[in-house]
Amino acid sequence: METKVKRKIHWGLAAALFLPILLIGLFYLLSPLPRVMDWWVFGVMAPVEQFLGRMWSIFPFSVAEVLVVLVLTGSVAWLVRAIVLAVRRRELSPLLRRLLALAAVWLWVLAALFWFWNAAYQASSFTRRSGLEVAPYSVEALAAVTEYFAQNAARLSSQVDRDSEGRFAVPRDYYFHKGTQVYEGLIQEFPCLDIPPVRAKPLLFSRLQSILGFTGVYFPFTGEANVNVDCPACLIPETIAHEMAHQRMVASELEANFVGIAACVTCGDTVFQYSGYLAGLIQLCNALYPVAPDLWDEIAGRWFTLELATDWNENNAYWAALESPIEDAAGQAYDAFLKGNGQELGMRSYGACVDLLVSYFGRK
Cα separation, 245 vs 253, whole angstroms: 10
Together in a domain, 63 and 206: no
Average pLDDT over residues 94-112: 91
Together in a domain, 150 and 281: yes
Together in a domain, 198 and 319: yes
**Domain edge (last residue) among 102, 122, 142:** 122
pLDDT category, 95, cuts 50, 70, 90?
A: confident
Average pLDDT over residues 241-263: 95
pLDDT category, 40, cuts 50, 70, 90?
A: very high
Average pLDDT taken over every residue of the chain: 89
Q: Is the pLDDT of residue 257 over 60?
A: yes
Q: Is the pLDDT of residue 143 over 60?
A: yes
Cα separation, 150 vs 156, whole angstroms: 10
Contacts of residue 267, defined as CB under 8 A and 6 or more positions apart, other chains included, come to 181, 182, 183, 184, 185, 186, 273
Contacts of residue 158, defined as CB under 8 A and 6 or more positions apart, other chains included, come to 305, 307
Together in a domain, 137 and 273: yes
Together in a domain, 28 and 91: yes
At 167 the pLDDT is 95
- Does the pTM exceed 0.75? yes
Together in a domain, 202 and 97: no
- 132 C-beta neighbours (distance < 10 Å), count: 18
**Domain edge (last residue) among 122, 151, 186:** 122
Give the domain range for residue 80: 2-122
User: What is the number of domains present in the chain?
Assistant: 2
At 324 the pLDDT is 60
Together in a domain, 82 and 160: no
Alpha-carbon Rg of the chain, whole angstroms? 23
pLDDT category, 1, cuts 50, 70, 90?
A: very low
Q: Is the pLDDT of residue 160 over 70?
A: yes
Average pLDDT over residues 151-156: 97
At 331 the pLDDT is 47
Spell out the long-range contacts of 5-14 with Cβ–Cβ below 8 A and sequence spacing 24 or more.
Answer: 9/97, 13/97, 13/100, 13/101, 13/104
Q: Is the pLDDT of residue 31 over 90?
A: yes
Together in a domain, 352 and 225: yes
Containing H/E element for 225?
A: strand 224-227
Cα separation, 245 vs 217, whole angstroms: 11
At 125 the pLDDT is 92
pLDDT-wise least confident of 159-168, 169-178, 343-352: 343-352
Together in a domain, 139 and 158: yes
Pairing relationship of beta strands 201-202 and 216-219 according to DSSP bridges: unpaired
**Domain edge (last residue) among 122, 155, 173:** 122
Together in a domain, 117 and 176: no
Together in a domain, 329 and 344: yes
pLDDT category, 74, cuts 50, 70, 90?
A: very high
Spell out the long-range contacts of 134-138 with Cβ–Cβ below 8 A and sequence spacing 24 or more.
Answer: 134/355, 134/356, 134/359, 135/359, 137/355, 137/358, 137/359, 137/362
Together in a domain, 166 and 67: no
